Amino acid sequence: GQNIDQPTEMTATEGAIVQINCTYQTSGFNGLFWYQQHAGEAPTFLSYNVLDGLEEKGRFSSFLSRSKGYSYLLLKELQMKDSASYLCAVRDEDYQLIWGAGTKLIIKP
Amino acid sequence: DAGVIQSPRHEVTEMGQEVTLRCKPISGHDYLFWYRQTMMRGLELLIYFNNNVPIDDSGMPEDRFSAKMPNASFSTLKIQPSEPRDSAVYFCASSPTTTGNWFEQFFGPGTRLTVL
């Protein structure tokens, strides 16, 4: 079966760095997405990885290792507004998006 | 750019009633997706369309659910009859077809459905 695993919840301090991990087992691989979802709002696109390595976009970076079926989202200089759920999604061989359950990130002052 | 538009934003209905959710995708986007999100099951893909044609409806829970896309700018998701377990947030998303075969999905604000 297809499976994506993320921690359910994480807590971090304002100004710090946090890494949210995602491991996946899917039938084929055609890219991995990270989305941010604030409570009561729609998911919004953060990043996309299809090749191994690190993609940096401002305070956010996303890493992919296809051989390990592993990705992480790195958030630096955390701000209170970063409190949200972070969803990992993998596109399989049929170009279907398989979604993780999301990681709820709580930022404390 | 108006983004993906969904209506209604909130719907409260009684068990057994018909519910129709509406979506207007971003102009020019070829793909339209309907999702359901609950605390227990997370985000689930129900069905998606490409150029108004349903491609995969394997996520539709049962025959009570149906979706249509009569034209490129409008889609509906209908539940008839509705049941309390259908209570969830229903998202519509759209995406373009781009070169390189990757695309992000743009989500609408969602419809929060409560079935009593």
Kindly state the helix (H) or strand (E) to which residue A103 belongs, with its residue range. strand A103-108
pLDDT score at B102: 58
User: Closest Cα partner for A71 from A106, A100, A96?
Assistant: A100
- Whether the CB of A17 is below 8 Å from some CB of chain B: the reply is no
pLDDT score at A95: 77
Structural tokens at position B77: 């998701």
- Whether the CB of A45 is below 8 Å from some CB of chain B: the reply is yes
CB-nearest to A101 from B42, B102, B108 is: B42
In total, chain B counts a number of residues equal to 116
Write the DSSP assignment of B33-84 as a string of letters: EEEEEETTTEEEEEEEEETTEEEE-TT--STTEEEEEEETTEEEEEESS--G
pLDDT score at B41: 86
- Whether the CB of A48 is below 8 Å from some CB of chain B: the reply is yes
Write the DSSP assignment of A44-96 as a string of letters: EEEEEE-SSEEEEETTEEEEEETTTTEEEEEE-S--GGG-EEEEEEEE-TTSP
For the stretch A69-97, pLDDT in tens is 999 999 999 999 999 999 999 988 887 78
Query: CA distances (Å), A99 to each of B5, B45, B52, in order?
Result: 22, 9, 23
Min Cα–Cα distance to chain B from A99, Å: 7
Chain centroid offset of residue B54 CA? 12
Q: Is the pLDDT of residue B100 over 50?
A: no
User: Closest Cα partner for B14 from B67, B111, B66, B86?
Assistant: B86
Cβ–Cβ below 8 Å for A43 and B107? yes
Contacts of B43 in chain A (CB under 8 A): 43, 87, 99, 102
Contacts of A29 in chain B (CB under 8 A): none
For the stretch A44-57, pLDDT in tens is 999 999 999 999 98
Q: Is the pLDDT of residue B1 over 70?
A: no
* Residue whose pair of structure tokens reads 């039938």 in the numeric block: A27
Residue A11 neighbours by CB distance under 10 Å: 11
Residue A1 neighbours by CB distance under 10 Å: 5
- Whether the CB of A106 is below 8 Å from some CB of chain B: the reply is no
CB-nearest to B108 from A42, A96, A97 is: A42
Count chain A–chain B contacts defined by CB atoms under 8 A. Answer: 36
List, in order, residues 6 or more apart from A80 with CB less than 8 Å away.
A14, A107, A109
Chain A interface, best mutation among B44, B107, B111, B112, by max A CB count within 10 A: B107
